[in-house]
Amino acid sequence: MLSKKTKYAINALVYITKNIEKQPVAASEIAENQNIPLKFLESILTELRNARILRSKKGKYGGYLLNESPDKINLAKIVRLFDGAIALLPCVTYNYYEKCEECIDEETCGIRQVVMEIRNTTVQQLKSATLSSILEREIKE
């Protein structure tokens, strides 16, 4: 399951993308419309800014702006940023690798192979889920 934090981050980004012509978008506006606790959202937006996914404008009429085009921002990036590894086991992650303590031989581990296949397809699916593709889906319906 995605954490609430990740979910909030995705919703915030989709909201900004929908209101891309009204940028910068204030945290308070996002919080209200997406039903996210303001203070919690602030910390999320800060993380997104630190990751260079958003940039911000301070002061009155300030807010947040996308720092990349909506077709460059995908869910794999967001999920990794907030929830860490996408894979089901630490021994098959790219970025957070860790050996399973009890594993005798990683190379021939049958569970590992299954989990690796799942990671591969999931990562691909999350990568193809860009902000623009998400919006496109919503419009098409």
Residue 2 binds its own copies (CB under 8 A): yes
Is the CB of residue 56 less than 8 Å from the CB of residue 115?
no
- In the complex with DNA, the residue whose CB is nearer, 45 or 75, is 45
- In the complex with its own copies, the residue whose CB is nearer, 1 or 39, is 1
* Binding flags for DNA, 52-71, as an x/- string (CB under 7 A): ----xxxxxxxxx-------
Residue 39 binds its own copies (CB under 8 A): no
* Binding flags for DNA, 24-53, as an x/- string (CB under 7 A): xxxxxx-------xxxx-xx-xx--x----
